[in-house]
Amino acid sequence: VRQLLPTEAHEIDPLDLYPTLDRPTPPDRPWLIVNMIASADGATELDGVSGGLGGPADRLVFRAIRASSDWIVVGAGTVRAERYGPPRLPDGARDRRIARGLPADPRMAVVTGRFDLDPTMRLFAEKEPGEPRPLVVTGTSAPATRIEALVEAAEVVVLDDSRPTPAAILAELGSRGARVVLSEGGPSFNGQLASAGLIDELCLSVSPLVVGGPSSRIARAEESGAPLPLTLTHLLEQDSLLFARYVRT
């Protein structure tokens, strides 16, 4: 992957870059990264999934950003649409994390209100012995029978609100030792993070496609919050895909 900013470099490995970047933990919560891919005209899905927007370089960057995080948090809509499996990094990335005193893989937290999740979904069914169960974060409106059906496959935490706020979700992960949390979306979860002003870092992959259509942009909410000013710290490129990394100004 070619680095264009902050300095030009012909061949860099995203795994050498992303996990080593400075992410000062805010005083009261973990550092929050949002990582999303969008087409050049802002679409975040093709036929309901994001896979058609990316390519091999995007997968490298995606994994490097995962390797930078303690926890991955994702909306249940994305887990259902993208058929999420357990978050396993390649061996090289795991070795480097272990050398830095971190667990081999980040942990995964799913946010849900309706609790339309079941143990046959890949994320739960493909867990291997010794791997921690995914965490499901929900609110008081979640149906008890659905929680009951998932308690063996997942660790469930019911926060004290009918629909937990993003701040409460981050606080929960912070209480479990998270210093860096990565949101992988989708747009409606990111929209809440944006409205609450909680985004510290945005990693945006721009795919060289014009998609049109009804797709959401990377963050969507009923009402806009105050715009969050960002500073571009890195820009990478491969195969006309751009990988921008911004931090909160």
* Nearest CB to ligand NAP, comparing residues 95 and 148: 148
**Cα–Cα distance, 106 to 245 (Å, whole number):** 20
- Shortest CB 17 distance to ligand NAP, Å: 19
- Shortest CB 10 distance to ligand NAP, Å: 27
* Nearest CB to ligand NAP, comparing residues 113 and 225: 113
* Nearest CB to ligand NAP, comparing residues 102 and 203: 203
* Nearest CB to ligand NAP, comparing residues 19 and 75: 75
- Shortest CB 41 distance to ligand NAP, Å: 13
- Shortest CB 36 distance to ligand NAP, Å: 4
**Cα–Cα distance, 190 to 192 (Å, whole number):** 5
**Cα–Cα distance, 50 to 147 (Å, whole number):** 28
* Nearest CB to ligand NAP, comparing residues 86 and 186: 186
Give the residue ranges of DSSP H helices in 83-225.
91-99, 122-125, 144-150, 166-175, 187-195
- Shortest CB 100 distance to ligand NAP, Å: 26
In whole angstroms, what separates CA 234 from the centre of its chain? 19
Per CB under 6 A, residues contacting ligand NAP are 36-37, 44-45, 48-50, 75-78, 81-82, 111-114, 116, 139, 163-164, 184-189, 192, 216
> 87-93, long-range: CB within 8 Å, 24+ apart, which pairs?
89/63, 90/63, 92/15, 93/15, 93/19, 93/63, 93/64, 93/66, 93/67
